[in-house]
Structure 1
Amino acid sequence: MPRLTDSPTVVTLGAIGAVFALQQVVGLLVPQTLVFGMSHPFSQPWTLVTSVYAHGGPSHLLSNAIALAVLGFLLERETTSLRYHTFFLLTGMFAGLAEVYAARLLGPIVPWMVSQVNVLGASGAIFAFLGYLLASNRLTETVVGGISLSPRAQLAIGGICAAAITIATANPGVALIAHFTGLLLGILAGRAHLLRPGSVLGEPAPTEP
């Protein structure tokens, strides 16, 4: 009988829950965002990792946990634990970095943006999961599989799709750039089936006992 710890989704849910509990303890001494959140100028490099698993409050944690459970259990069926965790962490990190640097570049010139943000949450990685599942499923393969497109065209279409979904799911106060970046990374990875065992990462496909 499979153990709960065999599921990378269960492990990830446990990790974000544990980090949130740690946030509450640390928050008694110093502001949580100083220890867990990602912000410029990255004087605390560990926040590249902790920001992906930390959350801003119970409602933020709950909404991301539900989304992760729905998407994660679907995604883990077609990949390995190592690829799952690596994809979750890297897409979450890049999504957070995109949010921070977009604020730095656009904040001074766009009236409704701020130039300094502190990023917390797994939503960038969760949107990457969504993008991967949308781009790698059989229906998508059937519809677009026979269409020959250049890499630039595929990137442009992926960007348009990611922007449309990001706008459609936008809410006040959310990290739109992080969501867009995660979704686009997921779409590109899904078209390449990057999480499929035995693909470009060089990990051998699992064998049945």
Structure 2
Amino acid sequence: MRATLETLAVASLVGVAQGALRLVGLAGAFALATPLSVAPWTVVTSVYAHGSIGHLLANGLALLLVGPLVERRTSRFRFHAFVVATGALAGTAQVTLGGLIGPPTAVLGLSGAVFALGGYLLAGNVVTATLFDRLQLPPRAQFALFGLAAVALTATTAAPGVALIAHATGAFSGLLAGRVGVLDVR
């Protein structure tokens, strides 16, 4: 659980920094928002920042459920790189696509990366691999199936204020990565 606990430690430290910045009126310094070029560091910092202690606890609990299972299959470096990459991708999708269908909003949190880790577990296990190999689905059908699965997984978290595009993006990228074994150490 080393990489999982390290990820939680970084998120906690960022939370402390957020609290300090809140005292001087810079509460949104870690939030990802458009245009991305104004504060490009937020593509990464937003992954570890959270809107409240409850938000951090919810994401932390979900990370504790899936993180150790992914860690068994990969290296610490790959785990952390996956969390940053999928979290950044999910957040970027949320602020860019979300801004096209509604008012622009900022995004924070590990949930996109947590959904990616969960998707990785779902698509990258022996049972799923065997099923896909036997069904011999063409890549387009697998792609469409992963899209439907990502939407279904995202629907379980649908509530006002939840970054649904980020959740779906994270789940979809995790499903694709799991199918090809991106994190597996061979």
- Give the TM-score normalised by the residue count of structure 1: 0.85
The structural deviation recorded for 1:150 is 2.2
Pairwise mapping of residues 5-16 of structure 1 onto structure 2 (< 5 A)? Answer: 7-16=2-11
Show CA shifts across 1:145-180 (max 9, x none): 222222221111100111111112322210000000
Cross-structure match for 1:195:
183
Pairwise mapping of residues 11-50 of structure 1 onto structure 2 (< 5 A)? Answer: 11-33=6-28, 35-42=29-36, 43-50=38-45
Take 1:69 and 1:79, find their aligned partners in 2: how far apart are those partners? 16
Cross-structure match for 2:93:
98
* Structure 1, unpaired ranges of 5+: 108-114, 199-209
Take 1:170 and 1:133, find their aligned partners in 2: how far apart are those partners? 21
Cross-structure match for 2:65:
70
Instruction: State the identity %.
Output: 46
1:180 to 165, 168, 173: 168
Aligned length in residues: 185
Amino acid at match of 2:14: V
The structural deviation recorded for 1:51 is 0.2
166-175 or 61-70, which deviates more: 166-175
Cross-structure match for 2:116:
128
* Structure 2, unpaired ranges of 5+: none
Take 1:71 and 1:152, find their aligned partners in 2: how far apart are those partners? 27
Take 1:72 and 1:28, find their aligned partners in 2: how far apart are those partners? 32
SS of residue paired to 1:196: coil
The structural deviation recorded for 1:182 is 0.1
The structural deviation recorded for 1:80 is 0.4
Amino acid at match of 1:30: G
97-106 or 80-89, which deviates more: 97-106
* Greater helix content: 2
Show CA shifts across 1:76-110 (max 9, x none): 00000111001000000000011011122112xxx
Take 1:149 and 1:67, find their aligned partners in 2: how far apart are those partners? 31
1:89 to 72, 84, 87: 84
SS of residue paired to 2:72: helix
Amino acid at match of 2:45: T
Residue 168 (str. 1) matches residue 156 (str. 2): yes
Take 1:12 and 1:125, find their aligned partners in 2: how far apart are those partners? 11
Show CA shifts across 1:100-135 (max 9, x none): 11122112xxxxxxx211000000000000100011
Question: Highest CA radius of gyration, 1 or 2?
Answer: 1
Take 1:169 and 1:118, find their aligned partners in 2: how far apart are those partners? 18
- Give the TM-score normalised by the residue count of structure 2: 0.95
Cross-structure match for 1:202:
none
The structural deviation recorded for 1:73 is 0.8
Cross-structure match for 1:206:
none
Take 1:57 and 1:14, find their aligned partners in 2: how far apart are those partners? 16
SS of residue paired to 1:36: coil
Take 2:27 and 2:45, find their aligned partners in 1: how far apart are those partners? 11
